[in-house]
Chains A and B, each alone.
Chain A
């Protein structure tokens, strides 16, 4: 196949980060649910029964074109007994300069944001 990629070139030229993010998230959630069903040997119709929905609605969810509400994500997570999405604390790199016998040694440490501010006794706005 030729090296040029008409799809990627067009997306780059017309970049829309908001739609990029929406498509990435919708497909990631759909893929996660699809994987969980497969892992548990369940069919979309089984999930439909568990949630009291029509099987056709579950099929739509699995296409990655559906925009989920947090309520739906919570319901699916509850019946499947696992978290569909994980909200993780943002990590920040903090650099300390340590003097060892008058020689500078740079150390890198990673903290969760809340830890960083409590350790440094800083207000978040001060960052």
Chain B
């Protein structure tokens, strides 16, 4: 059972700063685990999502309509956004739907937390053996981060374009 987490910066762009969390005594963040788990077997699906993250970070900001709501007990989102049976990525030169899900928390238009995910095989995340645990953990962490905002352990900078927190901040799940 996961009990605590630390925040780890992942990447800063002109319009969005991305963060992830390192759970318990792990050495890498959930987002880095997601990359490592899919960069061989689902590389093109993964590349599509990661590129999308970079482009909205650079040009568009984390606007609400760009994210897929995946809240169960908290305001968790998922990428890629919206149920999409239309072509959304390229595999061996062919356009295919992307079933890879990355769970995240869109704190505002400028700050997004990226967690972990997997290939979704059922309509509901709760019913999918692949994503269920990532979905549950993402909701659990989202709730804990929301609480850290309330307790002012994480606070906004003056312009609300980034967050500030102690580097040794522990978030209890």
- From 15 to 34 in chain A, residues with beta carbon under 8 angstroms from any chain B beta carbon are 16, 18-20, 22-24, 27, 31, 34
Please state if B47 and A11 are interface contacts (CB–CB under 8 Å).
yes
- From 10 to 61 in chain B, residues with beta carbon under 8 angstroms from any chain A beta carbon are 10-13, 17-18, 31-32, 35, 39, 43-44, 47-48, 50-57, 59-60
Query: How distant is A69 from chain B, measured CB to nearest CB, in Å?
Result: 10
Query: How distant is A50 from chain B, measured CB to nearest CB, in Å?
Result: 18
Query: How distant is A75 from chain B, measured CB to nearest CB, in Å?
Result: 15
Please state if B52 and A65 are interface contacts (CB–CB under 8 Å).
yes
Query: How distant is A7 from chain B, measured CB to nearest CB, in Å?
Result: 4
Please state if B12 and A1 are interface contacts (CB–CB under 8 Å).
yes
- From 58 to 117 in chain B, residues with beta carbon under 8 angstroms from any chain A beta carbon are 59-60, 63, 65-66, 68, 80-84, 86-90, 93, 95, 98
Query: How distant is A54 from chain B, measured CB to nearest CB, in Å?
Result: 12
Chain B contact surface mostly: mixed
Please state if B83 and A60 are interface contacts (CB–CB under 8 Å).
yes
Is the CB of A95 closer than 8 A to any CB of chain B? no
Q: Which of A20, A24, A31, A66 contacts B84 (CB 8 A)?
A: A66
Please state if B86 and A7 are interface contacts (CB–CB under 8 Å).
no
Interface size of B by Cβ–Cβ distance < 8 Å?
43
Q: Which of B48, B86, B162 contacts A19 (CB 8 A)?
A: B48
Could you tell me the distance between the alpha carbons of A1 and B162 in the complex, rounded to whole angstroms?
10
Please state if B18 and A7 are interface contacts (CB–CB under 8 Å).
yes
Could you tell me the distance between the alpha carbons of A6 and B51 in the complex, rounded to whole angstroms?
12
Contact string against B for A residues 60-101, beta-carbon threshold 8 Å, 1 for contact and 0 otherwise: 101111110000000000000000000000000000000000
Query: How distant is B13 from chain A, measured CB to nearest CB, in Å?
Result: 8
Query: How distant is B37 from chain A, measured CB to nearest CB, in Å?
Result: 13
Chain A residues closer than 8 Å to B80, beta-carbon distance: 63, 65
Chain A residue nearest to B45 (CB atoms) is A19
Please state if A19 and B84 are interface contacts (CB–CB under 8 Å).
no
Is the CB of B129 closer than 8 A to any CB of chain A? no
Question: 4 extra interchain contacts, Cβ-Cβ under 8 A, other than A11-B47, A11-B51, A66-B84?
Answer: A19-B89, A59-B65, A63-B81, A65-B88
